[in-house]
A and B are shown apart, each in its own frame.
Chain A
Amino acid sequence: MTSVRNVGRNAGPSLAPDDGKQDDREPRRARVGWGWFRWIWRTLTSMRTAVILLVLLALAAIPGSLFPQRNVATDPAAVDKYAAENPNLAPWLDRIGFFDAYASPWFAAIYVLLLVSMTGCVLPRSLRLWRATRTPPPVAPRNLARLEDHHGWETDREAPMLLEAAARHLRKRRFRVVVTATEVRAERGYLREAGNLTFHLSLLVLLVGIAAGKLFGFEGRVAIAEGGTFANDRSQYDVFTPSAWTDVDDLESLSFRLDEFDVDYQVAGANPGQPTDFTAKVTVQRGNDPTPSQETVQPNRPLDINETKFFLTGNGYAPVVTVRDGRGEVVFTGPVLFLPLDANNSSEGVVKAPDAQPTQLAFEGLFLPTADVGPQGPYSMFPDTLDPQLFLTAYTGDLGMGDGVPQSVFALDRDELSQVEVDGQPINQALSVGESLVLPDGQGSLTFDGVSRFANFQIAYDPGKEITLAAAILILVGLTSSLAIRRRRIWVRILPCTNDEPRPGTQDESENDLSGKRSLIEVAGYSLTRRQAPPGEIGDLLAALKGLTGPGLVDPHADTASHKETST
């Protein structure tokens, strides 16, 4: 590309290179120490380094999407599963941070370098832009004919009037204009660089917002069965992930009760069994407000209490059961959460009765909302409760809950348990609502009282997200203006035709007594950006001027001009 650009560079003293950073040029004479620092700094802030770092950033983001990640919400157990399947590879991948790629040192190194490079480039450019906005548009190049869009013709009209008309025309089109006795200098599109700098600086603001969320916010999860309550205290969460500086003792004061949780499924149509609606009805009690309020929570419609948000992200069934022990005492009654396994809500879970006497009791099995038994065993045919059944087996012994080790509510520690048997076979029974599993020898029983649902809430508090959003909007605005706006200059020059030959290079204004003589009027434009200036712009100016001068007697550059017009 280049002849035109070179012309441009020579054209005026203050023409900055178009898009960019200076190329990395090493300092001529590097003193030891300081010179090295300068060399490193200039290399780091050069555009070439920025490009390399960008490509590295893109490549470094790939492993995290291919290997399971510890802090990605999709499946918390994925890493352990992968490690179990690849026992040799997993420890090495773990060591180089592939299971937590976006928090790994190598990923951080790339983006920190990129940010330093960017800042080191953008701040000096901001300074340059500040100076440029206070510098008037530069003097016209001596040889305007070498510019992209040059037109010239002779006229006998007075120069001041024409220049004033040109200046008016350009000012109306929001050019910055300087008028001298012989020429009009106009420039437009400073917002391009302003947008560019806004974009880059907003990236820094975006990081501030992300950091604020990562330092002061928290995330949590809780599953609540219908009728259950939740108070916003750390102990009530199933999973609570505070950040470094989260004030965990000062969570938003609130509690709520899950009154009802409705799920609708398509019964007929294209996708039977696909859910069509989830609605959780909750009664919320805010900290100081004595009157509770009724709210609904749905997907995409979280419950928002002073920035602590509750998102409905999952659901399942919680069969309601009553367990009686060997003495006939009720040792457990209520809903038990079962984990859904598939799209038809086949669910598995356990019922633990640590208070049972003379021995502790446990039940384990499947809940099937629409049960059927196939060759591979019992399964669910439909996600809604058309024919709910529990398929359970039972254990007696020590549940192992006394030794202080936290246990999953979805799994049994079978070490000290023995499976209850009938006639030498493990006990196994399907229960419909109202039916009971009675253990032999009066060891106890379990009654299937009914079915309720549970809802999974994802709870998030992110104090930085407004900053992030504001930064994102600025990023978009800055980026769009930096790509859409074209910075360009237009010059109009009128010089007397003293001899046969016009003297475009003449700058001495004492010679320019234009009255009553012929003069050469020249118009030329120059784009400081890669894209050419809007095509009609010079044309409009020409039309306006020719309206005053007439079509022009001779156009010494007609040939080149027509060439250039057709080439676009």
Chain B
Amino acid sequence: MTVDNASFAEISNGLVYASIAVYALAMLAYAAETARRATSTNSNAVLQGSRMIPSPAGGARMTPDQLGLPRAEPTDPRPKAAERTRVLGAVGTSLTVLAFTLSVGGVAARGLAADRAPWGNMYEFVLVCGVAAGGAYLAFLSRQPVRALGVWIVGLILLALGLAVTVLYTPAGDLVPVLDSYWLVIHVAAAITGGGVLTVGAVASGLFLLRHRLERLNAAAPDARRRGYAASLPPAKTLEQVAHTAHMFAFPIWTFAVIAGAIWAENSWGRYWGWDPKETWAFITWVFYAAYLHAQATAGWRGVRATWFALAGYAAFLFNFFGVNLWISGLHSYAGV
């Protein structure tokens, strides 16, 4: 018995809706964990986090974070409640893994339904971008303490998937002939992978700014008792490191996506670069991230200022996808909204 294309299309839709439901639960679990951490981060923990100890060099007094020493986790005075918070986070991660798996299945079924790489129109692109962002987050989570990013990443994925099924939905079908090229597989896959990792980088960058502000305030007035969301985040140094790693990983992928796109454009339209709006915004994205990487190596710009460039790059990436597809007409407009 064979399963025909229409059934695969239905299976795909079912899996996508299921993954939305599970992602929603994951977000609830993460949000609850975040809320508990933010409220239970008592002043004691904050003081631990920013306590001044003499640096070995005998120079500036530094926090354990800056020295890279293990930082005391924000402790909850009630161990049972702390345990519950931890379990909530673990549940969130498990649900995220499940939802991620479901969405991978949904994308795969979509590919089988259409007999092609499942990223030929905007609906599919958003779907696969969600998979890429989820995958990138889980990959980071397996080696870095980045669960604090989870609620935001899952929220963004949920938003993207929700938009996909409501506004962007397109039935599975063939592509217009100009998209019938193996460069579709290569170029778009690279853009999606890059986008997924950039999403992790952008979330880490945003949280870094929040946390950095708190640490600066703490350093200025060590006795003030600051609490709340920023105090529950990992140290700014960790967040910055995560963002930097994500961007360094994503930047060559994005470069490759742009080059592959140029090669395909040469093969399809007769020129490799024509300042089509899509090309232009890919270029703008690339240049902002290049500015970020250079600023990270510039005294006085490292850290906060550099991070703003990275966020500008991510904004350009988002605009390229939503703004350019929906508002500006260009050669990429066949992508089928």
Is there an interface contact between B299 and A476, defined as CB atoms closer than 8 Å?
Answer: no
Known: A300-B268, A472-B262. A74 touches B297 (CB 8 A): no
Is there an interface contact between A3 and B284, defined as CB atoms closer than 8 Å?
Answer: no
- In the complex, which of the residues A57, A277, A298, A479 contacts B255, with contact meaning CB atoms closer than 8 Å? A479
Is there an interface contact between B268 and A311, defined as CB atoms closer than 8 Å?
Answer: yes
Taking the closest CB of chain A, its distance from the CB of B112, in whole angstroms, is 15
Render A410-447 as a binary contact track against B, CB cut-off 8 A, 1 for contact.
00000000000000000000000000000000000000
Render A1-12 as a binary contact track against B, CB cut-off 8 A, 1 for contact.
111101100000
Is there an interface contact between A458 and B262, defined as CB atoms closer than 8 Å?
Answer: no
Render A270-314 as a binary contact track against B, CB cut-off 8 A, 1 for contact.
110011111000000000000000000011101000000101010
Q: A169 on the interface (CB 8 Å rule)?
A: no
Is there an interface contact between A462 and B271, defined as CB atoms closer than 8 Å?
Answer: yes
In the bound complex, residues from chain A placing their C-beta under 8 Å from that of B283 are 61
Is there an interface contact between B297 and A20, defined as CB atoms closer than 8 Å?
Answer: yes
Q: Which residue of the partner chain A has the closest CB to B256?
A: A476
Known: A270-B173, A472-B262, A567-B70. A58 touches B288 (CB 8 A): yes
Q: A337 on the interface (CB 8 Å rule)?
A: no
Is there an interface contact between A274 and B284, defined as CB atoms closer than 8 Å?
Answer: no
| Interfacial residues of chain A within 48-65, with CB under 8 A of chain B in the complex | 48, 50-51, 54-55, 57-58, 61-62, 64-65
- In the complex, which of the residues A271, A299, A458 contacts B177, with contact meaning CB atoms closer than 8 Å? A299
Q: Which residue of the partner chain B has the closest CB to A266?
A: B174
- The CA of A251 and the CA of B245, in the complex, are separated in Å by 50
Q: Which residue of the partner chain B has the closest CB to A473?
A: B259
Is there an interface contact between B296 and A19, defined as CB atoms closer than 8 Å?
Answer: yes
Q: Which residue of the partner chain B has the closest CB to A221?
A: B270
Binds A, one of B24-32, B52-60, B83-91, B211-219: B52-60
Q: Which residue of the partner chain B has the closest CB to A53?
A: B291
Is there an interface contact between A102 and B275, defined as CB atoms closer than 8 Å?
Answer: yes
Binds A, one of B12-20, B39-47, B94-102, B327-335: B327-335
- In the complex, which of the residues B170, B276, B301, B302 contacts A74, with contact meaning CB atoms closer than 8 Å? B276
- In the complex, which of the residues B174, B259, B275, B324 contacts A274, with contact meaning CB atoms closer than 8 Å? B174
Q: A73 on the interface (CB 8 Å rule)?
A: yes
Most chain B CB neighbours (cut-off 10 Å) among A73, A473, A564: A73
Q: B223 on the interface (CB 8 Å rule)?
A: no
Is there an interface contact between B280 and A567, defined as CB atoms closer than 8 Å?
Answer: no
Is there an interface contact between A55 and B309, defined as CB atoms closer than 8 Å?
Answer: yes
In the bound complex, residues from chain A placing their C-beta under 8 Å from that of B263 are 469
Taking the closest CB of chain B, its distance from the CB of A24, in whole angstroms, is 9
Most chain A CB neighbours (cut-off 10 Å) among B273, B281, B298: B298
Render A490-501 as a binary contact track against B, CB cut-off 8 A, 1 for contact.
000000000000
Most chain B CB neighbours (cut-off 10 Å) among A51, A57, A313, A564: A51
- The CA of A468 and the CA of B302, in the complex, are separated in Å by 33
Binds A, one of B61-69, B72-80, B124-132, B196-204: B61-69
Is there an interface contact between A530 and B244, defined as CB atoms closer than 8 Å?
Answer: yes
Q: Which residue of the partner chain B has the closest CB to A477?
A: B252
Most chain B CB neighbours (cut-off 10 Å) among A6, A75, A275, A476: A476
- In the complex, which of the residues A50, A69, A566 contacts B294, with contact meaning CB atoms closer than 8 Å? A50
- The CA of A2 and the CA of B263, in the complex, are separated in Å by 43
- The CA of A20 and the CA of B70, in the complex, are separated in Å by 30
In the bound complex, residues from chain A placing their C-beta under 8 Å from that of B297 are 18-21, 47
Q: A72 on the interface (CB 8 Å rule)?
A: yes
Is there an interface contact between B294 and A476, defined as CB atoms closer than 8 Å?
Answer: no
- In the complex, which of the residues A1, A219, A567 contacts B271, with contact meaning CB atoms closer than 8 Å? A219
Taking the closest CB of chain B, its distance from the CB of A304, in whole angstroms, is 10
Q: B180 on the interface (CB 8 Å rule)?
A: yes
Is there an interface contact between A23 and B299, defined as CB atoms closer than 8 Å?
Answer: yes
- The CA of A454 and the CA of B13, in the complex, are separated in Å by 40
| Interfacial residues of chain B within 121-146, with CB under 8 A of chain A in the complex | none
- In the complex, which of the residues B174, B237, B274, B290 contacts A73, with contact meaning CB atoms closer than 8 Å? B274
The interface size of chain B toward A, counting residues with CB under 8 Å, comes to 72
Taking the closest CB of chain B, its distance from the CB of A218, in whole angstroms, is 11
- The CA of A566 and the CA of B299, in the complex, are separated in Å by 28
Q: A128 on the interface (CB 8 Å rule)?
A: no
Q: A507 on the interface (CB 8 Å rule)?
A: no
Q: Which residue of the partner chain B has the closest CB to A4?
A: B68
In the bound complex, residues from chain B placing their C-beta under 8 Å from that of A58 are 284, 287-288, 291, 312, 316
Is there an interface contact between B248 and A6, defined as CB atoms closer than 8 Å?
Answer: no
- In the complex, which of the residues B56, B275, B295, B296 contacts A72, with contact meaning CB atoms closer than 8 Å? B275
| Interfacial residues of chain B within 249-289, with CB under 8 A of chain A in the complex | 249, 251-252, 255-256, 259, 262-264, 266-277, 280-281, 283-284, 287-288
Known: A73-B331, A300-B178, A564-B68. A64 touches B301 (CB 8 A): no
In the bound complex, residues from chain B placing their C-beta under 8 Å from that of A313 are 269-270
Render A21-37 as a binary contact track against B, CB cut-off 8 A, 1 for contact.
10100000000000000
Q: Which residue of the partner chain A has the closest CB to B71?
A: A567
In the bound complex, residues from chain B placing their C-beta under 8 Å from that of A302 are 267, 270
Known: A61-B284, A219-B271, A479-B251. A300 touches B181 (CB 8 A): yes
In the bound complex, residues from chain B placing their C-beta under 8 Å from that of A563 are 69-70
Is there an interface contact between A276 and B177, defined as CB atoms closer than 8 Å?
Answer: yes
Q: B171 on the interface (CB 8 Å rule)?
A: yes
Is there an interface contact between A299 and B255, defined as CB atoms closer than 8 Å?
Answer: no
In the bound complex, residues from chain B placing their C-beta under 8 Å from that of A465 are 266, 272
In the bound complex, residues from chain A placing their C-beta under 8 Å from that of B192 are none
In the bound complex, residues from chain B placing their C-beta under 8 Å from that of A1 are 66, 237, 302
Q: A475 on the interface (CB 8 Å rule)?
A: yes
Q: Which residue of the partner chain B has the closest CB to A469?
A: B263
- The CA of A297 and the CA of B157, in the complex, are separated in Å by 41
Taking the closest CB of chain A, its distance from the CB of B200, in whole angstroms, is 16
Is there an interface contact between B69 and A567, defined as CB atoms closer than 8 Å?
Answer: yes
Q: A390 on the interface (CB 8 Å rule)?
A: no
Known: A72-B276, A73-B274, A465-B266. A48 touches B259 (CB 8 A): no
- The CA of A55 and the CA of B287, in the complex, are separated in Å by 7
- The CA of A319 and the CA of B288, in the complex, are separated in Å by 51
Is there an interface contact between B259 and A54, defined as CB atoms closer than 8 Å?
Answer: no
In the bound complex, residues from chain B placing their C-beta under 8 Å from that of A270 are 170-174
Since A23-B299, A55-B287 are in contact, a sample of 16 more A-B pairs with Cβ atoms closer than 8 Å, ordered by chain A residue number, is: A2-B66, A3-B57, A4-B68, A18-B297, A20-B297, A51-B301, A54-B290, A57-B287, A65-B324, A74-B276, A146-B56, A274-B174, A300-B264, A469-B263, A483-B251, A484-B252
13 contacts across the A-B interface (CB closer than 8 A): A2-B66, A3-B59, A47-B294, A48-B301, A54-B294, A58-B288, A58-B312, A73-B276, A219-B271, A266-B174, A475-B259, A476-B259, A479-B255
The 8 closest A-B pairs by CB, nearest first: A19-B297, A270-B173, A460-B270, A54-B291, A270-B171, A58-B287, A65-B280, A311-B270
